[in-house]
Structure 1
Amino acid sequence: MSEKIEKRLDEICDFISENHMYTKAYINEHRGKYPVYSATIGQPFGYIETYDFENIDVLVVVNYGGSGNTYIIHDQRFSIGRNICGLSIKEEYKDMLSLEYIKMVATPILINRAKGEKQKNLNQKMVKETVINIPILEGGIFDINIQVSLSETYNNIENQKKVLLGKVEMLKNTRIEINDQEDIQFENVKITKLFTPKGGSMKYSKKWCKEHEGNYAIYSGSTADIFAYVDQVQYNGDYLTWVIDGLAGYIMKLSGKFDITCHRGILIPTEDCKNIDLDYVKRVIEPVFRKRIRGRIGINGKNKYTALKPTHIQKYDDTIPIPIKPDGTYDLAKQKELAKQYTILEQIKDNICKKVFELTSITVEA
């Protein structure tokens, strides 16, 4: 194993501070062909007619929001915008240090140093003072070969992680088909024939809920937590609900007395919704809803912000397979039987996803 030496980032890199001049308004007024980079990972904030830097590779560190995250700029001509800072290897170390290696070892340290809850901050002084380990040869010279080798290994692993995480997202959204059974006949029934999609109430603000504390649960966009307990209730019974925005499309069955906020929708059974098992419907309808979500997806396929409104469900008019008897009526017993099979398959899917997430959480020690 190669020896290592500790170095502060400002000892080995020149520091480029953010430029507050590059606002959205400025960029709109000075449009051109040269990119301006900001806190969006790897993507220019906009393009202007001038540039500040030429022919240098820069490691960008996000200072606000996704603080600590990094990416490298290789453009010939560009500028540095707001909420980030840049690091370029000092001239005397250019043949001895790898920017990819610095990115690899510095990023997890920078992310851990960021302060705050949702919108984390990492001031530029903290970036300068961040200490990393660098492999050295005898005599204390930086070992560029080890740096390159480690960073190549790291990048290969990260690429494989992205592939695996992409497959997990595909697996999660896969519609499991178990209707290839000779003894079961199916009818593809429109979701809107069985249910009327409806959004929750907008009145349930945190202030309102505090003024009306009670024993009835209110559910919002979370797929796990109860939003509040209040003294009023709208629904009583068994219903399927879904997340309207955030992690949109995920289904949760609710029973008893409850209500929902405007961030969750509910499927109201129609007159045609007879002999229908909600546990079965939950399994076949969630992949359909997840396929229809709109919005932004995060890095590696993770959710960032997506939406699925009641109007979207009505517009698409999708169908789900319902087992039927020889006389054409819905077969409730077969639905319950299939629901149990779906539960087993979903558990297998969840275990696979869990194993992949455990695998992709492995880090490379420099």
Structure 2
Amino acid sequence: MSTEKNKRAVIVGLFVTIGLLILLVGIFTLGGQQKAFAPSINVQAVFDNVNGLQKGDNVWFSGVKVGIVKSIEFNGNSLIKVTMHIERKAQEFIRKDAKAKVSAEGFIGNKLVVIYGGTPQAGAIEGGEHLQVEKSLSTEDMMATLQKNNENLVAITTNFKTVSNRLVNGEGTAGALLTDESLYKSLASTASNLQLAARNSQLLSSRIAEYTAQLQKPGSLANGLVHDTMIMSNLQAAVKQINDAANAANAFTANLKTVSDNLHSSENTLGLLLNDQKTAENMKSIIENLNSGSRKLDEDLEALQHNFLFRGYFRKKARQEEKARKAAEKETMTIP
């Protein structure tokens, strides 16, 4: 009887021991997963919305789990303070000016806190810091954005359907292109004309190139103008002479205009003779008087020739003139 009691006690003790071992292994396993026994420091972040974040959720830095969420509590004014356990081995990599945001593992996975950013100049966290936060889109916000995009897509699809119906019905320019054969033929004719114009342009370009090559040919006028400095000097001299001649012609024209203006003016003798009728009549009368006086003088000289007092003088003069004439004739005849 005592042997059976001892055996039962041993079995019970064995099961209790095994249960305790399993319990201890479970505790250590869960503690290792939750980083409960790893050396850590605490940092805080204040969010206006944690989007379902819970105590015990993971904290990631650069895609690596570095801690867990220790506590979540209200901080007044609808703000929520989240305290995080951060492993000391990750402490040196997280900077004091780093930022934190609430994210999720995948699209609908568990919530977590993501720590990112920071500059080397800020130094590593030491514990007790309040990290800056960035508002992240919640699932509801993403669903609302997706719903808005769906509405926009429906509107675009509706518009495309309307456009396609108008194309099928031949409405508008594009519809007419699809259904109107005459318009198609007109466009085909226009395209043919454009091709012809393009060929003509190409031909014109080739001819211009040939003409340019001819201009560059040695011995041509264009080549001489470009390369022969003497031709350019002569042209410049000729242009200068033409300019001088033009200036002289302008001066001559100006002088003629001045003379013409003087002829039309009554302030000079010639203009007075041309424009003043009374002066012209006086000049005519003076000329008539001179002619009359000349005729009377001729008559007086003729009368003097027949006067006995001057008759010898005029005869002597006539003989001298006759003698001079005969000497001149004789000299002319002796010249071979």
Q: TM-score, normalised by structure 1?
A: 0.18
Which structure carries more helix by proportion? 2
Tell me: higher relative CO, structure 1 or 2? Use CA pairs within 8 A at least 6 residues apart: 1
Q: TM-score, normalised by structure 2?
A: 0.20
Which structure carries more strand by proportion? 1
Larger radius of gyration: 2
